[in-house]
Amino acid sequence: MIHHQGLELLLPEGFFSTKAAKIGKEIIKTGERRITCSEFSNNKLLEEKLSDSKTYVNAEMLLKESHSLRTKQVEDKELYDAVRNGILKLVSCNEDVSQYSVLKSELDYLQEKRTAAMLQKIPEIVEDEFRQGNIQSRKAIFTIGMFHLHKIIGYLNENRIKFYASLFASNRNEDYIGE
């Protein structure tokens, strides 16, 4: 897809940087050689890489290893931190069922808000990179965890982003509907 569509821009979930990073196919600083795109078409090599439990790997890392892509931040740091803190609270609430329900509802709301913020930011980032001449087409690759897919598909099917404040929120003004 990268080669056939001429994609040059990667927008990964959870990536934070103050400036765009240009990823080349040069030798990694550790001395290891880069894996080429044709090598990743070999499923055995990809299976080996993904099954190595000693090394963390994700889609962004695999893409940057085998392609020259410009990487831009799409994630909102405050929302990312709020979700992370919500997860930590949820894990530490032990077995208090009433507290768990409140924290889970708040976390679900924050996750939806985070996903919506990223989706709404993508067109602006792509247009800005295109206008500046950093990419040749108005296309990008957005990498995000499977957790978010059902919401994204729903938003795309409805052609709008719509979600409601957490169940126990005191302020229903946090409901969100946006094109």
164: its two tokens: 């409601």
pTM of the model: 0.74
pLDDT at 169: 56
Please give the average per-residue pLDDT across 16-30, as a whole number: 47
Report the percent of the chain where pLDDT is more than 70.
Answer: 78
Q: How many CA atoms lie within 13 A of 156 on its CB side?
A: 8
Residue 149 one-letter amino acid: L
Q: pLDDT tens across 149-177, in order?
A: 988 998 889 988 887 777 665 555 566 66
